[in-house]
Amino acid sequence: MTSCIFCQIAEGTIPSEKIYEDEHVVAFMDVMPVTEGHVLLIPKNHRENLYEMTEEEASNLFSVAPKLANLLKETFTPAGMNLLQNNGAPAGQAVFHFHMHFIPRYDETDGFR
Ligand code: 5GP
Ligand code: ZN
């Protein structure tokens, strides 16, 4: 069995609150949201970070971004949204399975900088 936590989330062997899934990707709620509605989008296949993604994999993943952003916009009615993606520990990557953060933004007091 894989030791990667996001592979286990993709496989469903550890629980998560999934909000979108297709052949290539899964999106689920971040367990420690920096703002309300914080979501992570991952490829189902294990890729450590952006350096390991093929153009096709990156394309399959990012093609979901408008749909996901609109779903979050309708559900949480934020005033804005940040997309963020960390590569390597010095850049803040803590889980070494590629993930893109979708961070709904509310106002200057929403807690995220
Ligand atoms: P990074 O710093 O690697 O870009 O972000 C990792 C993110 O994964 C963090 O926002 C963290 O809260 C989230 N995370 C870590 N472990 C889990 C988990 O087991 N389940 C979920 N849903 N999110 C996780
Ligand atoms: Zn993985």
For residue range 67-80, what is the model confidence (pLDDT) as tens digits?
999 999 999 999 99
CATH number at residue 66: 3.30.428.10
Closest protein CA for atom 12 of ligand 1: 32
104 DSSP β-pair partners: 81
- How many of the other CB atoms lie within 10 Å of CB of 42? 22
Question: What Cα–Cα distance (Å) separates residue 42 from each residue in 34, 51, 76, 93?
Answer: 18, 14, 21, 14
Whether 83 lines ligand 1, by a CB cut-off of 6 Å, is no
Residues recognised as catalytic: 99
Q: Which domain holds residue 77?
A: 5-105
Whether 16 lines ligand 1, by a CB cut-off of 6 Å, is yes
Is pLDDT at 34 greater than 90 in this prediction?
Answer: yes
Reported confidence tier of residue 1, pLDDT bands at 50, 70, 90 = low
Total count of domains within the chain: 1
ipTM over 0.90 threshold? yes
Residues 13-29 have pLDDT tens digits of 999 999 999 999 999 99
Residue 111 in domain: no
